Chain A
């Protein structure tokens, strides 16, 4: 593990305006053209209802014939600057059943925009417990912990 953050987080600056970046999340015909890990993972938008409380369902056609299906719902949105949605992978995927949440933040940057996508694992009890336990801070420190543990093992293997 070489990363120093535990939350999956990606930031990128675009020359496009915030409204354009926002539309890439809000319009199904655009979503289907980019929201996958690589061009080889074709995305079919099975359901798309972009409003607070609305649901989405995406099918990813993995090279080799398998299909991964992700569903979720939009928890909040503030066009053109913020979108929060849940993210659940359906069985039989190895990570099926784990509740997670994606927060998209779009900030004006000159004539362009900076995008931040933050994907975090939730506990089953949800947001109240998450805040009560300092969950966000926990995730921020998790990768550092993993690095420390794995590095210690490398230096001195367990008997």
Chain B
């Protein structure tokens, strides 16, 4: 139903993957090898993280011969931000209303 946003949040639950997203934030492409050197991780580990990011739609892969290049996709990040912003607005508005209600209840009792 909303599995894509679920996948996004799950992909973002790991520190290395968040760092990889930061490394791709400017929109340029990086190869798996470049990312591996940057994070001093074994290549299979980097490949595994990239696969999770790819499945969540957070990166897209371009294959040039033996080199796999990755680029960040912003839409899933925006969607995740939308969920958070919506609930922040909900509770901020609700607490404003609670404030008024508690004042009314206190007024009725005094």
Residues in B whose Cβ lies below 8 Å from that of A15:
102, 106
B101 in contact (CB, < 8 A):
yes
Q: How many residues of B contact A (CB 8 A)?
A: 44
B22 lies within 8 A of A98 (CB): no
Q: Classify the interface of chain A: helix, strand, loop or mixed.
A: mixed
Please tell me if the beta carbons of B81 and A16 are within 8 angstroms of each other in the complex: no
Q: How far is the CB of A129 from chain B (nearest CB, A)?
A: 9
Query: Per DSSP, are chain B's interface residues mostly helix, strand or loop, or mixed?
Result: helix
* A146:B94 contact, CB within 8 angstroms: no
CB-CB under 8 A for A152 and B25, given A10-B91, A98-B2, A146-B81: yes
Q: Are B6 and A98 interface neighbours, CB within 8 A?
A: yes
21 contacting pairs across A/B (C-beta < 8 A): A3-B84, A10-B94, A10-B95, A14-B102, A16-B102, A20-B106, A24-B98, A35-B94, A35-B98, A95-B5, A98-B2, A115-B95, A121-B9, A123-B10, A138-B13, A138-B18, A145-B21, A149-B77, A150-B77, A152-B26, A158-B26
